[in-house]
Amino acid sequence: MATINDIAARLGVSKSTVSKGLNGATDVSDEMKRKILETAVELGYTNKRLLKKEQKICIFIENMDFENSNQFGYDIVLGFKQMAELEGWTVDIIPVTPQFQRETPYGVFMIQQGYHASFVLGFSLLDPWMQEFRTVRIPTVLYDNYVKSNPHIASVGCDSQEGFELAVKHLMQLGHKKIGLISGPLDSYILRARYHAYLNALEKYGLEINENYIGLGYYVAESTRTYIPKLLEQGVTAILFSHDVRAISALTECDDRDIRVPKDISIIGFDDLPMTAYTVPPLTTIRQDRIALGKCGYYAMSCLLNRIPIGSILLRAPLIVRESTGPAPESDRE
């Protein structure tokens, strides 16, 4: 671990300048403060006095609602806090934007605020801090994201491969042969992982892989509206969705077009949001146990704080069979 001496030596300034810079004193220029902080991050400096004074960690959250119990992030945050607070940590929740990330480097923010570690929710591959995570030396746990080879970063998530294999197996047993995928765009780590999981699952069960069975689009309702008829035209009899929200919008779309679920088409979501038990028909989906995800986030952080170089934790992704899946129509609609 680097000390104030190391930073001073690197920059050719005095120890007291470094100390002042780190503590935001007004008689050090902003330019020098920036240099001091950036060097501190680069060298892996930790402010032991500040860290000792405040036993705090934080959750960075973006693109994810978490304030109400029916929202996706709520239980993840809850599970994490249940574990962390039990062990004496104060947990701050910090919503962030790409602009905030561009203005404040991750390492600088963590040193200035005295956080020991962070749990990062909802980032896409385009978020500016994702670059910084490749080299940062602060214990950081990413949900549904992955950074290679950095021993200070761990990932937690559900096993998309396991989930999609269970889903495809279930559909095969119901006689389906042409299985489609409707997903968000591949600009996030997890959507890429699910896309490959879909392809692998089809390959594993010897089913046809056909790019015309796949619909990728940013806007939920719009892409559902576009792709449901396209996939049906191709003879697809069952569709996997990257998220429950998309699957639920498909139920509405099918209802509007008098397409019967599951008689004409079977639909499987991903997440098991609370409302999926109450849709018409109730949705077959792959469960993400969000309380457990939050707890695992804390387990992974404990490992990193104890210098156990964990890379990833994957939770089981069980298939919850409800009523949106049924036997394949007698013959393909070609």
Does position 306 bind a second copy by CB under 8 A?
Answer: yes
Choose between 24 and 309: whose C-beta lies nearer to a second copy: 309
x/- mask, a second copy, residues 29-48, rule CB under 8 A, reads --------------------
Does position 308 bind a second copy by CB under 8 A?
Answer: yes
CA separation for the pair 246, 215 (Å, rounded): 11
Shortest Å distance, C-beta 78 to a second copy: 14
Phi, psi of 188 (to 5 degrees): -125, 150
CA separation for the pair 209, 194 (Å, rounded): 15
CA separation for the pair 80, 66 (Å, rounded): 13
Does position 127 bind a second copy by CB under 8 A?
Answer: no
By DSSP bridging, strand 140-143 and strand 118-121 are: parallel
For 61, the token pair is: 């959250």
Choose between 13 and 83: whose C-beta lies nearer to a second copy: 83
Among 58, 130, 286, 292, contact with a second copy (rule: CB under 8 A): 292
Region binding a second copy by CB under 8 A among candidate stretches 38-46, 108-116, 213-221, 311-319: 311-319
Shortest Å distance, C-beta 115 to a second copy: 22
Q: Which helix (H) or strand (E) holds 319?
A: strand 319-320
Among 316, 327, 332, 333, contact with a second copy (rule: CB under 8 A): 316
Shortest Å distance, C-beta 140 to a second copy: 14
Identify whether the C-beta of residue 47 lies closer than 8 Å to the C-beta of residue 111: yes
**Greatest Cα pair distance in the chain:** 81
Q: DSSP code of 236?
A: -
Does position 313 bind a second copy by CB under 8 A?
Answer: yes
Total interface residues for a second copy by CB under 8 A: 27
Shortest Å distance, C-beta 27 to a second copy: 43
Q: Is 287 helix (H, G, I), strand (E, B) or coil?
A: strand
Does position 318 bind a second copy by CB under 8 A?
Answer: yes
In terms of Cβ atoms closer than 10 Å to its own Cβ (0-12, 13-18, 19+), residue 118 is buried
CA separation for the pair 266, 220 (Å, rounded): 18
Among 127, 162, 244, 271, contact with a second copy (rule: CB under 8 A): 162
Choose between 280 and 305: whose C-beta lies nearer to a second copy: 305
With the CA atoms of 201, 205, 207 and 210 taken in that order, what torsion angle do they form, in degrees rounded to the nearest 10?
20
Region binding a second copy by CB under 8 A among candidate stretches 97-105, 181-189, 241-249, 299-307: 299-307
Choose between 217 and 311: whose C-beta lies nearer to a second copy: 311
Does position 315 bind a second copy by CB under 8 A?
Answer: yes
Does position 289 bind a second copy by CB under 8 A?
Answer: yes
CA separation for the pair 66, 61 (Å, rounded): 9
The amino acid present at 210, given as its one-letter code, is N
Contact positions toward a second copy, by CB under 8 A? Answer: 148-149, 151, 159, 162, 165-166, 289, 292, 295-296, 299, 302-303, 306-318
